[in-house]
Chains A and B, each alone.
Chain A
Amino acid sequence: MTAISVKNVWKEYGEQVVLERINLEIAPRSFVALVGPSGCGKTTFLRMLLSEELPTRGEITIDGVPLSPEPGPDRGVVFQRYSVFPHLTVLGNVMLGAELRGSRLLGRLFGSSHRQARDDAAALLDAVGLSHALDKYPAQLSGGMQQRLALAQALIARPKVLLLDEPFGALDPGIRADVHKLMRQLWHQHPMSVVMVTHDLSEAFHLATRVIAFDRTRTLPEERLRYGACITNDIDVWPKRVAGQPDFGRDPAHLPSRDDPALDPGQSDRDDPADAA
């Protein structure tokens, strides 16, 4: 179980304060969506979680241990683009994680360990719906298939935390709905926390257990440089979602007795408040 703790984190680029006073406790198995206007520092925050950038001030810990200063296999990532390797086939992209960890010298596996890695990768690719495309190269896949591949590639390394930066932002609406379903399923099945940046509020409420909004509170021109964005909203998504229990909340017995007017048992199968808006 993986708890992420962000303590008074600031990020400055030279004169410019991008993020300030970020305090956040993320419970194990959460699915956190980060929303906010363009340029407010969502990607910057994710890059600090990834150790691609270091905080100017403050500290980030996972299970009480400070983040290592460079990216590692405890944190997986899917970017909006360029997440997969163009020179490897679909199968090769997913096997790569096992090969890199299994062979520090060649980055390749042979014999039975190669077969094992192949079978594991093929099984995961089957789960994300790519079993028909094992020998294709990424350039031959559609955008949605590429992101499915990127998810499988990240998950094969069994990360404790999966970081997503607008992973579905470039997809068509129909395809996006399919990938959302897959994403939720993967979160239920894999023992990880997810932090996803998105600019799509409906996507955030559709998938997450908790939605966190970043924004600038000082917007006068003379203040823009010296004041960064901070957390302006922190919403637990209702009805509650519980990792590993896809049906939680759909069963009236589980419905908590919170006096939320939007929540009558007749609507309990509706899991996306934003959709109604």
Chain B
Amino acid sequence: MRLINRRPDRSLWLILAVLPFLALLIAYAAGSAVRLAENPADKLLPGLTAFADAIDRMALEPDKRTGDILLWVDTGASLTRLVAGIAIAAAGGLLVGMLAGLLPLARAALSPFVTVVSMVPPLAVLPILFIVVGLGEASKITLIVIGVMPGLIRDLMLKIDDLPRQQLIKAQTLGANSWTIAIRVVLPQILPRLMDSIRLNLGPAWLFLISAEAIASESGLGYRIFLVRRYLAMDVILPYVAWITLLCFLMDWGLRAAQSRAFPWFDRARTGQ
């Protein structure tokens, strides 16, 4: 049988899916064991007990100085910033994207501008943000918004262009005005696509968040890993990275689940059944 026609069954699929994760773990454990055998004080590839200690210290016991449990404080601070940034970017992106996608007059005024703004590297603007809005929460949230929103706008404009033109004609023959076309025809079809767009932008949003936290902050997951870097505390950094990855994965999964719950027609239309 040709290779392109061979499909894994359920159990083989599971084995194949787990395999790379397992390989990574084994490679790490082996490397760590070799280094620790040579030098028990090695900090680069700490063993599993070191991780357990670090996780216990960061996630379960209050910090001696502040009395807070650091992992939860960091997570709360980071997620607040991230969710605020993404929410503002999504709302603004939806508004501008709908205007520019639906109204030729608005498109003429907005499209070239958005295209140019989307070319500005957001991190290069970060110093300006620190100077203008200060080192507080606003600068970090603004960085996420600046980093994510232009892409969302452009994506939504393209998605609106992709709606069959027949639909807009049809709506007009049913008596719709521009506003009711926007809210009854375009918006409900664009929302699930916006959720797709946000999923694709989760990675960049985390990137901007961690960058801003690394540079100027007193809390947050990004702040913490850059802080303990000074002590080569791999036993803290690696669990934090895994935790951030898990959070990102859960957000992606949550958006996907919310999308299929809220827009049951969307999957059907996409797969044509």
Binding site for B on A (CB under 8 A): 50, 52, 70-73, 75-77, 79, 81-88, 96-97, 99-101, 103-108, 137-140, 153-154, 157, 159
- Residues 149 to 190 of chain B near chain A (Cβ within 8 Å): 164, 166-167, 169-177, 179-180, 183-185, 188-189
Q: Is the CB of B174 within 8 A of A101?
A: yes
Residue in contact with A100 in the complex, picked from B164, B169, B175, CB distance below 8 Å: B175
Residue of A nearest to B267 (CB): A139
Contacts of A108 in B (CB 8 A): 184
Contact A75-B173, Cβ < 8 Å, known A83-B166, A140-B273: yes
Q: Is the CB of B180 within 8 A of A71?
A: no
Question: Once bound together, how far apart are the Cα atoms of A86 and B179, in whole Å?
Answer: 19
Most interface-central of B166, B177, B263 (chain A CB within 10 A): B166
B121 at the A interface (CB under 8 A): no
B6 at the A interface (CB under 8 A): no
Q: How far is the CB of B19 from chain A (nearest CB, A)?
A: 36
Contact A100-B189, Cβ < 8 Å, known A50-B173, A86-B265: no
Question: Once bound together, how far apart are the Cα atoms of A144 and B169, in whole Å?
Answer: 21
Q: Is the CB of B166 within 8 A of A71?
A: no
Residue of A nearest to B163 (CB): A82
Residue of A nearest to B168 (CB): A71
Q: How far is the CB of B264 from chain A (nearest CB, A)?
A: 8
Question: Once bound together, how far apart are the Cα atoms of A18 and B268, in whole Å?
Answer: 39
Q: Is the CB of B265 within 8 A of A100?
A: no
A-B contact pairs, 11 of them (CB 8 A): A50-B173, A77-B170, A77-B173, A84-B170, A85-B170, A87-B269, A100-B175, A104-B177, A106-B180, A107-B176, A159-B173
Residue of B nearest to A103 (CB): B180
Q: Is the CB of B180 within 8 A of A104?
A: yes
Question: Once bound together, how far apart are the Cα atoms of A87 and B176, in whole Å?
Answer: 16
Residue of B nearest to A101 (CB): B175
B67 at the A interface (CB under 8 A): no
Contacts of B189 in A (CB 8 A): 85-87
Contacts of A99 in B (CB 8 A): 184
Q: How far is the CB of A256 from chain B (nearest CB, A)?
A: 36
Question: Once bound together, how far apart are the Cα atoms of A50 and B185, in whole Å?
Answer: 19
Q: Is the CB of B268 within 8 A of A157?
A: no
B272 at the A interface (CB under 8 A): yes
Residue of A nearest to B263 (CB): A87
Question: Once bound together, how far apart are the Cα atoms of A82 and B162, in whole Å?
Answer: 12
Question: Once bound together, how far apart are the Cα atoms of A248 and B206, in whole Å?
Answer: 73
Contact A106-B166, Cβ < 8 Å, known A76-B173, A140-B273, A159-B173: no
Q: Is the CB of B265 within 8 A of A139?
A: yes
Residue of B nearest to A70 (CB): B172
Q: Is the CB of A96 within 8 A of B166?
A: no
Q: Is the CB of B265 within 8 A of A137?
A: yes
The 9 closest A-B pairs by CB, nearest first: A107-B180, A82-B164, A101-B175, A71-B172, A139-B268, A107-B184, A86-B269, A97-B174, A82-B166
Contacts of B169 in A (CB 8 A): 50, 52, 71, 77
Q: Is the CB of A137 within 8 A of B188?
A: no
Contacts of A83 in B (CB 8 A): 166, 170
Q: Is the CB of B167 within 8 A of A82?
A: yes
Contacts of A73 in B (CB 8 A): 173-175
Question: Once bound together, how far apart are the Cα atoms of A77 and B164, in whole Å?
Answer: 14
Q: How far is the CB of A179 from chain B (nearest CB, A)?
A: 19
Question: Once bound together, how far apart are the Cα atoms of A138 and B167, in whole Å?
Answer: 14
Residue in contact with B174 in the complex, picked from A82, A96, A137, A140, CB distance below 8 Å: A96
Question: Once bound together, how far apart are the Cα atoms of A153 and B169, in whole Å?
Answer: 13
Question: Once bound together, how far apart are the Cα atoms of A137 and B169, in whole Å?
Answer: 20
Residue of B nearest to A102 (CB): B175
Question: Once bound together, how far apart are the Cα atoms of A64 and B185, in whole Å?
Answer: 33
Q: How far is the CB of A4 from chain B (nearest CB, A)?
A: 16
Q: What is the 8 Å Cβ interface bit string for chain B, positions 36-80, against chain A (1 contact, 0 not)?
A: 000000000000000000000000000000000000000000000
Contacts of B164 in A (CB 8 A): 81-82
Question: Once bound together, how far apart are the Cα atoms of A153 and B173, in whole Å?
Answer: 10
Residue of A nearest to B192 (CB): A87
Contacts of A81 in B (CB 8 A): 164, 166
Contacts of B265 in A (CB 8 A): 86-88, 137, 139
Residue of A nearest to B273 (CB): A139
Residue of A nearest to B191 (CB): A87
Residue of A nearest to B266 (CB): A87
Q: How far is the CB of B27 from chain A (nearest CB, A)?
A: 45
Q: How far is the CB of A48 from chain B (nearest CB, A)?
A: 13
Q: Is the CB of B184 within 8 A of A96?
A: yes
Question: Once bound together, how far apart are the Cα atoms of A70 and B273, in whole Å?
Answer: 34
Residue of A nearest to B184 (CB): A107
Contacts of B184 in A (CB 8 A): 96, 99-100, 107-108
